[in-house]
Amino acid sequence: MRPHSFPTAMLVSALALSTAVFISTVAFPTSAGNSPGGQAEARGGSVQLYPRIAAPAYQVRLVAPSGAVFENLYMANEPIILTPGQMKGGWGNGSFTYEITPVRGVTVRGASQAGGGAVKALTQSETGSFRIQDGRLFVSTSATEQTRRSMKALADDNPAADQVIPDDLIVQGSTCVGLDCVLNESFGFDTIRLKENNLRIAFDDTSASAGFPANDWQLLANDSASGGLSKFSIEDVTGAKTPFTVVAGAPTNSFYVGSNGKVGFRTSTPVLDLHMNTSDTPAIRFEQNNAGGFSAQTWDVAGNEANFFVRDVTSGSRLPFRIRPGAPTSSLDIAASGNVGIGTASPAASLDVGRAGDATIRISNLLTTGVTTDWDIKNNSGSGRLTITDDPTAARIPFKLGAGADNNLLRVGALASNTVDINGNLVVTGTITPDYVFKKDFRIPSIQEHAKLMWKNSHLPKMQPAQTNAHGQGVINVGQRAQGMLEELEYAHVYIEQLHGDVQGLKKDVDKRDAELAQLRREIALIKAELRKQ
């Protein structure tokens, strides 16, 4: 495409077009004296705002050039003063935009929260701006109208100008500007037409006074280079940036702002503040690049007929969070206290599971190898009993705890000695006694063998020696200890029975010897009597 300069006629048409474009901004001019409503005033290094609309309170938002935001609620009797200290890092150079939103229904700070009502904003907001340049504060003021100059003065300053019109220009018809305009141009309904192979409309702001905005802008249609984009852009010429671009082929209503201020993407009837409409999975992408020194990370938030989900694009498009269509209200509800409710809108504990029926928590092992057990912890709706089972059919329930149990019925590690304390009856079913001791083929060690082991190890042979855990605390295997004690007790009874038999045998021997001794005594007495007679 050939480079060329703008002819005078094109500059005049561009000026006419620019006057047809109106951008509405509510400005708060600097004032003095009593500072009537609807004004902003510089006070040293700060700015004081005076709202136009009377209201009980005002929500104020200040946006810095860096994108930093300061927000605060001011009561009607409080001065609205903006200072650099309200933003991290201060203000710095650039233009600052503020918005004042009148709020009704609030009489003191926090009243809306205490009364349970939301802060209600009036329909009209006031906006304005101020600028920091080289450490100086400039509050927005009205532009000064440029002085008209005579034809002779313009001609003296622009000797090479083709045509200068130092008065209003009125064209009762259509205007074509560009190197490719032809005689008898057919305009149709066009009022202004730009026609050539390099299409630009430049806004060259000649403001020179300190504090006045002077940025240059440009409307651009299509790239100039071969192979470039067919597009429409708004360019920040001074800042060498292109903040807005529409590429050719974009569908109708790609970006639509309704009369109610609601924005539609691919829809001309936006229902909410931001409304996206597409035939397959409308989504929002949050992409952090690594230009700022942080690791790159991309997230998607999307929804379709299958689920609403958050996708971790960077980590292989995993879906760590999903909501299926038809999920009931408060399926997951986080209260202001931080309590999490599942199936309840008013969680009363850190984790509150509510269900109209059996409320169950399942703990699953999803490994494809090894033991893949599922455990269910259930609050039974019929009995109120808490059960724990690894049997989904609930045919086998190894643990049950009835409702209304006594206080401290079972305490584990609640005492200083880290013991298990049971306040109530303990019922244990199943075979827990070592009955094998009484089997005919079971060999019981002799008393001598048992005594030898006992004295050698300093504990009963069937009792496990003292053990400690990694923290040096004593550990007792309750099952082994109970069975060992029973086995030792059964040994003792066997030994008692054996010793009783031995004692009975010895008693018989003693009785026999006593009878024999008595007989000997009688016989000796008879012999002594016979000897006396002689």
- Which of 104, 121, 139 corresponds to the end of one domain? 139
What is the reported pLDDT for 101?
85
Task: Tell me, yes or no, whether 484 lies in a domain.
Answer: yes
Task: Tell me, yes or no, whether 53 lies in a domain.
Answer: yes
Other beta carbons less than 10 A from residue 353's beta carbon: 16
Task: Tell me, yes or no, whether 26 lies in a domain.
Answer: no
User: What are the residues facing 258 on neighbouring strands?
Assistant: none
Task: Tell me, yes or no, whether 107 lies in a domain.
Answer: yes
- The count of structural domains within the chain is 2
Residue 186 tokens read as 């057919």
Task: Provide the CATH number for the domain around residue 52.
Answer: 2.60.40
Q: What is the pTM of this model?
A: 0.58
Long-range contacts of 361-369 (CB under 8 A, 24+ apart): none
328-340 confidence digits (pLDDT tens): 999 999 999 999 9
- Which of 139, 157, 185 corresponds to the end of one domain? 139
Q: How far is 515 from 521, CA to CA, in rounded Å?
A: 10
- Regions of the chain where pLDDT drops below 50: 1-37, 106-123, 142-148, 151
Task: Tell me, yes or no, whether 346 lies in a domain.
Answer: no
Close Cβ partners of 511 (under 8 Å, ≥ 6 residues apart):
none
What is the reported pLDDT for 155?
55
End-to-end CA distance of the chain: 175
- Which of 139, 155, 180 corresponds to the end of one domain? 139
What is the reported pLDDT for 479?
67
Close Cβ partners of 354 (under 8 Å, ≥ 6 residues apart):
341, 342, 343, 344
Task: Tell me, yes or no, whether 388 lies in a domain.
Answer: no
Give residue 449's Cα distance to chain centre.
Answer: 69
Let me know: does 435 contact 489? Beta carbons within 8 Å. Answer: no
Domain that holds residue 480: 436-513
Q: How far is 295 from 29, CA to CA, in rounded Å?
A: 45
